[in-house]
Each structure stands twice: as structure tokens, then as C-alpha cells.
Structure 1
Amino acid sequence: MTLLDREAPPLSPPPPPRPTSAAPTGVRAWARDLALGMRFAVSGGREGWTRTALTALGVGLGVALLFAAAAVPQLLDARESRGQARESPKATSQAVDKGSTDTTFLWADASTEYRGDPVGGRLLRQEGADAPPPPGVAKIPGPGEMVVSPALRDLLGSSEGALLAQRLDDRIVGTIGDAGLVDPGELRFYAGSSTLRVDGVGIRSSGYGLQEDRAPFDPLLVVLVILMCVVLLVPVAIFIATAVRFGGDRRDRRLAALRLVGADVRTVRRIAAGEALFGTVAGLAVGAALILMLRQVVGHVRLWGYSSFPSDVTPVPMLVLLIVLAVPVAAVLVTQAALSSVAIEPLGVVRATGLRGRRLWWRLLLPVLGVGILATVGRVDVMSQSVGEMPIVVGASCVLIGLAGLLPWLLEAVVSRLRGGPVPWQLAIRRLQLSSGAAARAVSGITVAVAGAIALQMMFGVMQKDFLEITGQDTERADFYVSSDYGDSVLAERMIQDFRDTKGVAEVIGTVEVYVAATGDPTEQGWQPITTLTMGTCATLREIAELPTCRDGDAFVGHLDARAAKKVGAAGVKEQNDRTDGAAVPGRPIDLTGNFGEGKGEPRLWTLPESARTVTAFPDPMGDLHDGILVTPGALGSVKLPGATARASIKVDPTVPDAAEYVRGTAADIDPTLRINALKNLERDKQYDSVQSGLQIGGALTMMLIAASLLVSQIEQLRERKRLLSVLVAFGTRRRTLIWSVLWQTAVPVVLGTALAVVGGLVLGKFMLGIVGKSIGDWWVFVPYAAVGASVILLVTLASLPPLWRMMRAEGLRTE
């Protein structure tokens, strides 16, 4: 029997089908696919880890700045609480009359300035054995002793602080702790004194902690602060959204492979969201690590006179929770939106941008909506009771985010019409024509930042006039003004002589001024007629009045003229002249004690000479008026002026280095409590000044974030084209040609983005100015900000050239 004759064994029936569980749907499907995407994010070899690391770094930079912004409320509250905790409230009149106790001390302000930096200081005198020391100080220093902050100790011990060390020559016996400082870089001291008196400059107190209500914020500044927050934070959000899309082209090719093995479109989109979610969560960890590192170095960095203790940089927990939840959710939404224009098929990836151009109409909806919201906010002025914060935030955010949406359309519309040119130009334009989305995303952040900066500067430029006060001080006649509320002719003479002998001083105008009362019949209100008596040399009196002739022993009666009307008004000039005529009567006795007929003590009488002539008085360099009685020292003779105010106006030689410090040193030698002020024509509001300082600090941090994120984005784009660059070099393309093509690929989006930022910034600024009732003052305000934005892009591009050079090697042809 042959093999063919054998009977085939009967076929066994097939096994019954095994029951299969239904594919998960809904939340279970999302959880499964997100977990799978996270596995892909960490299991793709070096390529996958590089992509995830770039995403984490980009997101982490943005998250770190968001955490820093969330720490601002805590930082400001901590600074203010420490500042108030060290202030000493004045004792009540009953406590002063009662006298010193075991817990009282005397204090006086002795603050000064050194080379533009404020130096806070207090003189202290312990009255009772249990008098408390200031916060951060172990005990009240004794006479000749001084407790200083760490920053001041370092300055006094360096060659830079030699002049200040001569001024503060007390022996250092301790260091002020953190509890007594508003920030680690503050210059502050407490010095002991043995001469403070309650009837002088000393103020009696028994403790610390002055609780003062915050001054209400000006409504115009509220609008400015709202716009500032939007301008600083919207670019951060855009950079985070850009970082989530790093490595998008390679990701889409991997997803096509998943489609080949049977995954549907919804599954691959969820997997892509899982990859983005993992990179975002890693970015949150990077951001947290960066903010922790920032806390360690923040005390050693000082920006525009501000620094902070590490403990102050503590984000508000609710804001941290919002960031931790919002950033991952936004990453998933951005990923899903990015995949909406991509058809991921089993055999490849088809992008919608090649066949159909980007549509404009829906991109205009967001900026138009923002402009419409801003147009309906209404008018805000200094009398407004409240400001609608949310409409301004939403409107400004819509305009700025809308600019980021318009940039891809503008870039595509322009580059699609460009033809010809040198080889580097053609390579760059062709690359932009094929894929302009990545280039637009890289520049969108700087576009939004520049547009916001232009709008902010438009508001600052127009509104600063509302927060600048004309002081009336004449900086041509004097540079410094020194005064003491408790002085006499002896102190004034010493001030004049010592300042004249000070290095760098060109001229000194010194006066002694006191209120005096005329004797005789009282006024209808029961008061004696009062006026001021100003004593000075003939040279000094000529600086405050028009004198025909003058010699020591002369006396004058000063009347105000039309020049003084600019300060006190025409009615004020008449009132003061009438008061002078009622009190300064030649031949009539004058009471120099300042009792004004109240019967406190014996009067000290002096008779105004019959020869006193009437002269015209005008403002001194400080803008103060000295009408009334003007006398030379010889006219008073040996008569003293109790309770007088000694003043000196000082003009320095601008060619002498540190002339201002020599003047302050002399003032400290005369009396540490002397008030010395630099004359200035304009004085800026403190709230406005703090807002501008905050903008400078926040703008610097945002610009650093922009530069760092752009560099990461640029490197990511080069990494995507690594093989293409290597192929071009292998076929003989010169490296210089490729470098120029990369520069052109950056330059074209930058120019278009800057132009869009200028238009958007001017529009946003115009409507924001409409809210505060202002008009545009300078249409060319955008020039410096456009230049800064272009410079940042140029620097980032230059910084990316070394990685570009390495990527053009032959090793780039290798693949796995």
C-alpha cells in the first residue's frame, strides 16, 4: 500500500471561539491610551528621551515663571509685614507727659543715601531697662555702638564704602537679623545715642509694630497693572503651548505606524495626548525644581534695587493648584487641536497645509472680540470707585492671543508669493513654503511680547504726566537742601561754615527761620498777628529777595509778587502780604518765643527797626517763600531764636567725584538727624514708581524666558532637520549656504512677526488709552521694542549655530 492509499485521519472540529471582552470605551479608553502614550514617551530610545526632555524643558521654563508670578502676593505681603513690624509708633501725649518708664526708648530717623542707594537708619536711646530692641536686633546699642545689616556690613568693609564708613564711624557690635529687614540686600543700621531728647528730635515709644492701612491704589494704575499682568503672562502661556508640540513631525510618523497595526484615529490621538501629558508633567517637575533653585539664589541677586529672602518666594497654594491642573489640561487640548489638521493614515501622514491655505476669517474672531470687549469697558478715571478687571483681562488676552493666531496665516500668505533669489534664500523660502507652522510658533511668543510691551509703553508714556508733580525746586541754583526742625542761629552758622569747607561745595545759602508774633492788640479771632522771621547774611537774603543795598545790621519786610502767585495763587499772595503788614510793623515789638499770645513763659521781645525797608521776596531754590521779616545777624545782636528751623541750600561742583557723598558726610557730622534732600524738578508718585519697577523686573524675567524658550525651540527644529542637513552636505552643499538659509528662515518670520506686533500693539494701546480717557502721545513708541524683539531672535539664532554645525556632519545620515 502506497502512501497515497493511506486513509487520511479525520479532521478534528475547530475549537470553539474564546469569548473576548469588549474594547474599553469612554474614560477607560482614555486612561488606557494615555498610559500607552506615556510609555511611548519614555521608551523610544535616545530619540524619544530627547524629545521628551526638550518638551519638559520648554514647559518647565514657562511653569517656573508662572510659579514665580504666583509667589508675588506672598512676597509683597512678607515685605510689608516686616517693614511695619519694625516701625515705632509715637507715644500718646499722656505717655509723653508721664515721662520715661522701664519699657520706653527714644528714637529719631537718621536715614541717608550713598551713591544712589538708600541707607535706612535709626538713632536709639534706651530709657528703661526693659526697653525692647528692634526686630532682628538682640539689644539696643549703646552710645557709640551700631548694629548693621549684613549688606551694609559688607559695604562698609569694602573699598567702595570708604566714604560711607567715614560717615557711620560708630563701632559695629552686631548684625540685624532677617526679621528686621525687608530684603537681604537692604542697607540699614541702628546706632545708639546719648543726646536724644523728647524736647528735641527724639520721639518716645515703648514698642514696635505700626499697623497702617494701605493707601488706595489709583484706578488708573489698576488698569495699568492689569494690562501689565496680561502682557507678562500671555507669552508664557503661548510658550508652554509651543513646547508641548516639540517633535510633532516625528510623533506623527510614529502614530502612522500605530495605524498600520490596527489603531483607529481616535486611539492614536489619545496616545499622542498621553505623550504630551507625560512631557508636561515632567515640565511641571522641572518648573518646580527651577523655582526651588531660584529661591536659593534670589537673595544674592538684586534687580533695580529689589531682592528677596528665599522664604518669601512661596507661591500661593491655590494658584499652584490652578497651574498644576491647567497646564496638563491645556497640553492635551493643544495636542488634539494640532492633530485636527493632520490625517494620520497607515501608510503615512498627510497635512492639510499643502493643498489648502490657512483661512483668515476665524483667526480674526479673537482679536475682533477682544477689541469689542475693550471698547465696552467704559471710562476709568481717578474718581472711579471700581475697575472692571475681568473685561480688561479677557479683552487684552483675546487681542494678544489673536495675534499669535494671525501670524501663521500672514507668514504663509507672504512666503507663498516669494520666488527666486540666491541659493540660501531659495532654500529658506522653500522650507517656509513647505512647513511654516513651526517657524510661526517659534516667533509667536516674541510677537505677543513685543505687542504687549508697545501697548504698555504707550500707556506709561501718556500716564506718567498724571503721576509726576512739579516741585518748583530750582536745580540751577542748588543741588541739595538740608534742614533741621530744632535749630538756632548757632546751628545755622555752623551749617553754613561746615558746608562751605566741604570738598566739592561751590555755594551755600543758609537761613534760620522762626514764626514770630506781634505785640499789641490781638486780631478779631483773639490771636496776635503772626509772620515769619528769616535771618541770613546779605548774600543769603539776596537769594530770596530783591535788596537795593544791604549790610550787616539791616532789616527788611518782604512782600510777595506775581512770581509767588504761581505757587500760592493771587489770593494767597494778598493774604500773606496782609498778614505781614499786620505783624511786621517797624518800631513795634516782636515776640520771638513763638507763644503767639498764649501766655506760655515770658516773651522774648525784639523791636523791628524803623529803618526796615519793604522789599520783594521770591522763592528760594527749594521753591519755599520767605516773606515777612528778613534780618541780618547784626540786626538781632545777641537775641536768640528758640525753636527756629535751620536750613541750607547747597550747590556742588559737578566736576568733583562723589561731591554728594561729601555733603552727606558733613551733614552727618553736624547732626545725624539733619534732613538732606536732593533737589529735583519733578517728583514721581511712589505707587507709579513701584508699578514701573515691577514691570522692569517682570519684563526682564519674561524676556529671559523668551530667549531660553526660543533657543530650545530652535534646537528642536534643527534636530528635526538633522538628516536633511547631513544629506545636503553629503551632496556637496556648502555649510555656509546652509547657515545662511537657517538665518533667513528665522529672519523672515521675525520681520513679519514684528510688523504684526507693531500693528497689534498700537491697536491694543489705543483702546487701553481710551479706557483711561487718554490719547496717543507718540506713534513711534514701538521702535525700541521692535528692535529689542528682533535682537533677541538674532542672538538666539547665533547661539544655535554651534549645534547646527554639528548636525551637518556625516554622522547625521545614520538611522535606526
Structure 2
Amino acid sequence: MSKRTSRRTSLGQWGRDLGLGIRLAVGGSRISGTSIVRLIMGTVGIGLAVAILFGAASVGNMLSAHEQRNAANIPSWQPRPGVDPLLMSTASSTIGDERISVSWIHPSGPNAPLPPGVERLPGKGEMVVSPRLAEMRAAADGEALRQRFPQREIGQIDKYQMTDAGDLLAYVGVDATIGAESSAMPVYGFGRPEMSGNETAILLTLLSIVGGIVLLVPVLIFVATSTRIAGAERDRRLSAMRLVGADARQVRRITAGESLVSSVAGLALGTGLFLVLRPLLDNVRLFDTTILARDLQPSPLLALITVVGVPLLAIGTALFGMRRVVIEPLSVVRKSKPVKRRLAWRLVVVGLGVASLLSAPVFDEGEEMWTFAVGVGATLLLIGVPALLPWLVERGAARVSGGRPSVQLAIRRLQVDSGTPARVVAGVAVVLAGGIALQTGLAAAEADDKYRPARAAQETISGQVTGAVADQVVADARAVPGVTDVRAGRYLSVKGAGEKSGTSVYVMDCAGIAQRYQTDQCVDGDAFTVVPPPGSRNYGRDLRPGEQVRVVKYARDKEEQIATWTWPQPKSTLAQPPGSRSGYFGPVATPGAVRGIPLSEVSATLEIAHDKRPGVISALQAATAKYEWRASFYDPSSYVSKDERMYTTLRNALLAGAVFTLSLAGLSLLVLALEQVRERRRAIAALFASGVPRGVLSRSLVWQLAVPMALGVVVAIATGIGLAWLFLRLVDEPVAVDWPGVGVLSGAAVILVLLSALAALPALRSATRLDALRTE
């Protein structure tokens, strides 16, 4: 027989054996209810895994599309032939606890560029807004927004061309007087080739890696566990096939065919789930980023790997589970003396993960190699949990002897087969390790937000005003109900002879200086020097008494001198009071000390104190809406930073992910408990007939699950805290363990064990009936 004929015969035999396995899985005349349950659970598990993998394979395309839109929205100030510049001044403010970006625009000619997503430039009294801002403005409670933006809405920005579809963005048309302002920049187009702002991409990439592992490992363990359902029936069926002439290789191919059914069905289910859920995720905000359904396109290569790899993995899992099973014509024999597990390769996995994370500081933070090192390190450390747990359970069970009868029964069972319970518990352990690492990282990040208490207690609104209208804005702000005081300050840019960088002089009245620096030794005309606290760096320089400097302003990146001035003799030095949020160190002057300098050409910063009544910021913004681009305000006490929103989102996502994965792990534990009772049915009946109380047998079932779970919790806590420490050392943050969170997650694991044991008690009671001793 030629090699070609032999190969054809071999392939044909493979096809026939796989086909027989498929028919037995779905079309057997005596298919049992438990076999159907196994098929359904396997299909659901693989379907979930495929849906998650398709989602993870879409992250790269989603981030790439986001960065492309970000680059397309960057204004270009380089002159272009035949293009009339669009004069634009952009300011950020707040709406409630969110930030809004308002661009005041005026075309200098008919060929002015259009911002991305805008069909027509708004004229004076008109505006174009983002869809979310339009929705908020049109809502029943949007009266404050309508007062703040009384302009006529002539259109909405195309959300598919915005950097983020959920951004609050407005383009407001103004007259040509904006051209005289230094803040107005001439824009000749939009879009730059370089990508900018990749912090979100890095964070999402790292979180998708860690989160993907935390989600996938329990799912894959769930798939593997589902193959144990109706295992005894399958073994009897395979023995019957051996009896009618099938060899051992054919039996394994038939087993692979049975697994192929749930694999293909799960692949179809997962694809359907992804396609059904994708439209539902449109406009959902995650990690302060709005998801667009059309961006959720799996990478072709990763999608192909998923389509091919998931069925192969399921088949491989089934075949791997039979590696120590000998199918004989009349029975199934499981090798009773397992090979002693080796520790070396398991430690290598953990060691490589630690080494990868320790090597990350070698690279620049945020670059591809840094992201790769951190991602690989976190992946290997989390994979180390299911790698170490079977070895620990085996060694722990081997060293235990004596104890109560229920403990002895459980330990003896673990000594015979510790791998399966350990692998099932590993799903819970990975969830715990990932959850503890994320909780610890969140606790450290929140603890590091030093300004949050000060911001929460702050009773001032900050504002930025052009110098020409500063006095009018101050007067209007003082007339707003709830405003108790208004302080204005200006930063003068000054340069000495031949100096390129220069320094700043902060101009403020004596009342403001007294409040900020806690001094009562001030009269108009005085000057001071604020010294930095120990360990802080002064980025400017101190001026010498009598030094003559040039006062300059900047308009469209061009320097313009507005006055010359002589720095007087400082009256004294001032220090920052403890807990102050002001980071300014250097020269400070009162208005009387800067006479002769046209302060109307220097923008002012306002600090507006209020009595905390609701709606003060909205009333202030409405009262100053007539100043358009010349005045903007935001409330630091109500503004929730991007990091804070991300903390909240992460915590909610962590909770949802933990509930999902722990539920799957609980199902896996329940399947394990039921199958252990089914496999040991005759032994349990014999023990009960010999006088062993049913309570002892029930407690032994609890111990069989509790011992691996206890070891898994210990490994998970150590791994989670270690992973968090390795993460936090990359950003020089101390470890702040969220022990209540650790306790909640660990308690959930304990509850899973108890619930699984309770759910298996009816099966145990059934197994203790004397008719279970009957044999053929």
C-alpha cells in the first residue's frame, strides 16, 4: 500500500470516527438527560469564551479608531495656500460633574476649514453641538444650559467624526472681534499625522489583558468541567465500542467527535452573542471612553485564531482528560498511581512573570515595549495561580493524616485525585487574584489623590477672564445670588535683559494675599516673594530688587512687549500655608506696585467664593454668557476628574466581572461535587451500609471542596497583592491593600463552597440508598 493510499485511509478513518462521535453526541437513540446537560453546558461555556475573545480581539481596532479620530480633530496652524484661517478660541468648563469644551469660532473668509463632523460653520448667534450636549440642552431640566448657550442650534456634530462620541463639545459662532484676542488662534485645517494622548490606550490595553485572563480562565475551566458530566455513561458506551472491535485510537477519535459538537455549537453561539450584544454597546461609556458599535470589529487574525483555536482547545481538553484512562472492552480503568507533579516548571512561569514586570522600568513608560512587558508579566503571574494550585493541593493532602472521619474521607479522596478539584478551584482563585490586584491598585490610586479632600471642601469657583472685561465680569459675578466674594489675580510674564524663558509675577490685591498666604502685613503698593516649602522645586526665579524687566504677552505664539517695569524691594517673604493647593512660588505684587502696566491686556484668574447653594455655578455662567469666549468658569468641588470616573467605572466593572466569573466557578464546583458523588455512588452506599452516618459523608463532601478552596484563597491573596505591588512600583506608589474588598471576595469563595455542597446533598442522599449497591 502506498503512502498516499495509507494517508487517504487514515484521513477517511478519522472522518468516520469523528462522524460517529458526532452522531453519538446528538443522535444517539439512548442519549440521556445528563448527556444533554453536558452538551448544553459545554456549548454555553464555549459560547461565552468565544464572545469574550471576540470582544478582546476588537479592543485594538477600537483604540486605533479612537486615536485616528483624535488625530483628525487636532487643529493645524500651518498656513495652507488658498485657505482662509478659522479664528478659534477654545475653553474648558464644567456642566455638573463633567467637563465641556467650547470653541468660539469666526471664519476670516469663505474658504475657512470645517471642523470634523460639522456641515456648516455657525455665524454670530449660532452654534453646532455634540449629540450628547444637544440632548442635555433639550431636556426638561436643561434650562440652565439654554440660558448659558442662548445661541440657535443649527446642527449637530457627527458622532462618528468626534474623538469621543460622548464628549460635551460646542462650536459657537462669534463676530470678528475675536481676532484681536491673544487666545484666538488661526486654524488652517484639522488633522495631524501623529497620534497623541495614548494614556487611555495603554490603560485599556493592560486592563483588557488582566481582565481577559480573569474572565477567560473560569470559562475555560467551566468548559473542561462540563466534559465530566455523564462521564460514567460515556465510559460505558466507549467500553461497548471496544467490545465490538474499536481500538484505543478510534475511541479517542470518537471522544474528539463528541467534543466537536459542543465546540462548533459554542462557536456559533458565541458569534451570535457577539453580533447581538455589539449594537447594544453603542454609546456605552467605559473607562471614560464612549464605545461605538462599528469600532467593535475583531482583528481578522485574532478572529481566525479564535475560530480555529477554541474548537481545537475543547477537543484537546477532552483528549487530555483521557490521557490516564484505559478503555477496555468490559470496563474503564483509571491509573491509580498518578505521576508526582513537578514544581520546577510552575515556578518558571511565575518567575518569568515577575521578571517581566521588574524589567518594565527599563523602557519608557507608555511605549510599546513597556506595555508588552507589563502585559506579559501580569498574564504569566495570573496563569501561575492555576499552575501552582494542583501541586499545592497534592502536597497538602499528602501531608495530612488523622482527624475526624469526615476529614479522613475527604483527604483520602484528594490523595487519589487532587488535580480535578484544584483545577476547578483555580477558576475561583484567578478571579480572586485579579480582583485583589485591581482593588489594591484602585485603593492606592485613590489614596494618592491628595487634593480630593481639599477639592471636596472647597467653596470657590475658578474662572479665566480676558483682561479687557475683567472688571465687568467681577461686578456681574458679585451680583449673582449665593456669591459671597470675588478675587481677581493676574500672572505677568516678565523677562530680564537677554533672557529667553523669563519668570512670572502674580498680581493680587491685599485681601487676596491675606487670604491665600495668611498674612495681615500688606498695603497696596507692596511686593513679596513666596518661597517654596522644603523639598519643592521653584520652576521660576527670584527677581533682584531694582531689576528692570520687560512685561510681555503672547499672541498666536508671538511675543509682544507691553511695558517695562522695575521690581521693587520686597516687603517680606511669604510661605505656603499647610494644605494649600496653590503651587505658585516666586514674586507676588499688589496692583499699586505695577502702576503703568496695562493690566487690561493681561488675562485674569478669578476665585469666586459662594455659600454652597445649589445652582450657583449655573447662575454664574448664565450671568456671564454675554461675554462669550472672554469668560469661562468651572467648579473644582463638583468636577469629578477623569481618574475618579475611571475608578468608579473600574470598581463597577470589577464587581460585575466578579459576579459573572464567580457564578461560572460556582457551577463548576457544583458539577464537580455531583460527579464525585456519581462516580463514588457504590462506595458511598457501602460506607452508609457499614454504619457511616450520612452527616459524616456530607461533611466529607464539604471538606473535599473546602481544602482546595482554602489553598486557592491563600495563593490568590498572595498573587493579587504581589501583582499590585509590582504594578504600583512602576509608578512609585505605596501599596494600600483594600482589606474589606479582599474579605468580601474571599467570603464569596467560602459561600460558593457551602452552596455547592448544599446543592449536592440530594444527590448524596440518593447515593446512600441500598439499591446503589446493586451490580450487574
- Indicate the TM-score class for this superposition, using the shorter chain for normalisation: 0.7 to 0.9
Percent sequence identity over matched residues? 28
- 1:330 alignment counterpart: 313
Q: Could you tell me whether the CA contact under 8 Å between 2:50 and 2:267 is conserved in 1?
A: yes
Q: Which amino acid aligns with 2:547?
A: G
Which residue of 193, 205, 226 maps to 1:246?
Answer: 226
Aligned: 1:173 with 2:160: no
> What is residue 294 of structure 1 aligned with on the other side?
277
Confirm whether residue 751 of structure 1 aligns to residue 729 of structure 2. Answer: no
- The equivalent residue for 2:77 is 90
CA–CA distance in 1 between the matches of 2:560 and 2:719? 70
Given the two structures, how large is their TM-score scaled by the length of structure 1? 0.74
Among 48, 51, 56, the alignment partner of 1:61 is: 48
CA distance in 1, matches of 2:605, 2:132: 32
Q: Deviations over 1:611-654 (max 9, x none)?
A: x9734355685322462642259x959x853421211123444x
Question: Which residue among 526, 540, 558 is the counterpart of 2:528?
Answer: 558
Amino acid at match of 1:50: V
Q: Which residue of 2 aligns with 1:371?
A: 351
User: Does 2:107 align with 1:137?
Assistant: no
- 1:652-681 CA distance string (max 9 Å, x none): 44x53455555555565654454545659x
Give the C-alpha shift of residue 459 in structure 1.
Answer: 7.0
Answer with 138-147 or 790-799: which moved more: 790-799
The 1-side partners of 2:739 and 2:754 are apart by 23
Asked if the contact 2:493–2:551 (Cα under 8 Å) also holds between the matched residues in 1, the reply is no
Q: How far apart, in 2, do the equivalents of 1:24 and 1:213 lie?
A: 54
Q: Identify the residue that residue 318 of structure 1 maps to in structure 2.
A: 301
> 1:177 and 1:222 mapped to 2: Cα distance?
26
Q: Go from structure 1 to structure 2 and tell me whether the alpha carbon gap of 1:618 and 1:471 turns closer, same or farther (over 3 Å shift).
A: farther
- Pairing 1:445–2:427 present: yes
Question: 2:582 corresponds to which letter in structure 1?
Answer: M
Shift of 1:510: 1.3
C-alpha distance in 1 between matches for 2:554 and 2:24: 88
Equivalences for residues 16-31 of structure 1 within 5 A:
26-31=10-15
Is 1:190 equivalent to 2:171 in the alignment?
Answer: yes
Confirm whether residue 646 of structure 1 aligns to residue 604 of structure 2. Answer: yes
| Corresponding residue number in structure 2 for 1:656 | 613
C-alpha contact 1:504 1:662 (8 A) present in aligned 2: no
**C-alpha separation between the residues in 2 aligned to 1:530 and 1:664?**
34
Q: Which whole-Å deviations, capped at 9, do the CAs of 1:747-771 have from their partners, x for residues lacking one?
A: 554333211222344556677788x
| Partner AA of 1:713 in structure 2 | S
1:90 shift after superposition: 2.4
Matches within 5 A, 1:786-801: 787-788=744-745, 790-791=747-748, 794=751
Equivalence for 1:404: 386
Question: Which SS does the other structure have where 1:350 is aligned?
Answer: strand
Q: Structure 1 residue 714: deviation in Å?
A: 5.1
Letter in 2 for 1:36: L
CA distance in 2, matches of 1:769, 1:548: 44
Alpha-carbon distance between aligned partners in 2 of 1:196 and 1:736, rounded to the nearest angstrom: 88
Query: Is the 1:90–1:205 contact (alpha carbons within 8 Å) kept by the matching residues of 2?
Result: yes
2:546 is the counterpart of 1:581: yes
Residue type of the alignment partner of 1:72: V
Whole-angstrom CA distance in 1 between matches of 2:42 and 2:670: 12
1:208 alignment partner in structure 2: 190
TM-score by length of 2: 0.77
Query: What amino acid is aligned across from residue 787 of structure 1 in structure 2?
Result: V
Larger mean CA deviation between 67-76 and 255-264 belongs to 255-264
For 2:498 and 2:391, locate their aligned partners in 1 and report how far apart those are by CA, in whole Å. Answer: 79
| 2:464–2:633 contact (8 Å) kept in structure 1 | yes
Give the superposition deviation at 1:318. Answer: 0.8
Q: CA deviation at 1:77?
A: 1.2
The more displaced of 340-349 and 67-76 is 340-349
Q: Whole-Å Cα distance in 1 between the matches of residues 554 and 245 of structure 2?
A: 101
Aligned to 2:474: 496
1:74 corresponds to which of 53, 61, 81: 61
Q: Whole-Å Cα distance in 2 between the matches of residues 213 and 22 of structure 1?
A: 57
Question: For the residues of structure 2 that align with 1:741 and 1:165, how far apart are their CA atoms?
Answer: 69
Aligned to 1:4: none
**Equivalents in 2 of 1:773, 1:262: separation in Å?**
65
Task: State how many pairs are aligned.
Answer: 745
Distance 1:295 1:378, change over 3 A: closer
Task: Evaluate the alpha carbon distance shift between residue 210 and residue 492 of structure 1 in structure 2; reply closer, same or farther with a 3 A threshold.
Answer: same
Instruction: Evaluate the alpha carbon distance shift between residue 432 and residue 188 of structure 1 in structure 2; reply closer, same or farther with a 3 A threshold.
Output: farther
Letter aligned with residue 30 of structure 1: W
Answer yes or no: is 1:32 the counterpart of 2:16: yes
1:508 to 468, 486, 496: 486
CA distance in 1, matches of 2:204, 2:73: 31
Instruction: Note closer, same or farther for the CA distance 1:131–1:73 as it changes in structure 2 (3 Å cut).
Output: same
Q: CA deviation at 1:567?
A: 4.0
| Contact kept? 2:148, 2:618, Cα under 8 Å | no
Map of 1:150 onto structure 2? 131
Alpha-carbon shift at residue 737 of structure 1 (Å): 11
- CA spacing shift, 1:476–1:722, aligned 2, 3 Å: closer
Match of 1:709 in 2: 664
Inter-CA distance 709–161: structure 2 relative to 1 (3 Å threshold):
farther
Q: Which runs of 5+ in 2 are unaligned?
A: none
Contact 1:531 1:628 survives alignment (8 Å):
no
Query: Quick one: which of 179, 194, 212 aligns to 1:232?
Result: 212
Amino acid aligned to 1:31: G
Q: 1:405: how far off?
A: 3.8
Q: Secondary structure at the match of 1:299?
A: coil
Distance 1:125 1:773 in 2: 43
Quote the residue 2:584 is aligned against: 624
Quick one: structure 1 residues 172 and 435, their matched pair in 2 at CA, closer, same or farther if it must change by over 3 Å?
A: farther
Aligned pairs for 1:676-715 (under 5 A) are 676=633, 699=654, 702-703=657-658, 705-710=660-665, 712-713=667-668
Q: Does 1:269 align with 2:252?
A: yes
**Is the alpha carbon distance of 1:493 and 1:436 closer, same or farther for their aligned partners in structure 2, counting shifts above 3 Å?**
same
- Cα gap change, 1:773/1:707 in structure 2, threshold over 3 Å: closer, same or farther? closer
Where 2:116 maps in the other structure, the secondary structure is coil
For residues 84 and 560 of structure 1, the distance between their equivalents in structure 2, rounded to whole angstroms, comes to 41
Q: Distance in 2 between matches of 1:151 and 1:719?
A: 52
Contact 2:49 2:270 (8 Å CA) reproduced = yes
Matches within 5 A, 1:334-353: 334-352=317-335
Structure 1 residues 474, 298: closer, same or farther in 2, change over 3 A?
A: closer
Q: Which whole-Å CA distance do the structure 1 matches of 2:750 and 2:103 have between them?
A: 49
Greater C-alpha radius of gyration? 1
AA at the equivalent of 2:741: P
Distance 1:599 1:797 in 2: 73
Q: What is the DSSP-based 3-state SS (H/G/I as helix, E as strand, rest coil) of the residue aligned with 1:272?
A: helix
The whole-number CA distance in structure 2 between the counterparts of 1:599 and 1:694 is 44
Equivalent position to 1:307, from 290, 294, 311: 290
Q: Is contact 2:444–2:737 with CA below 8 Å preserved after alignment?
A: no
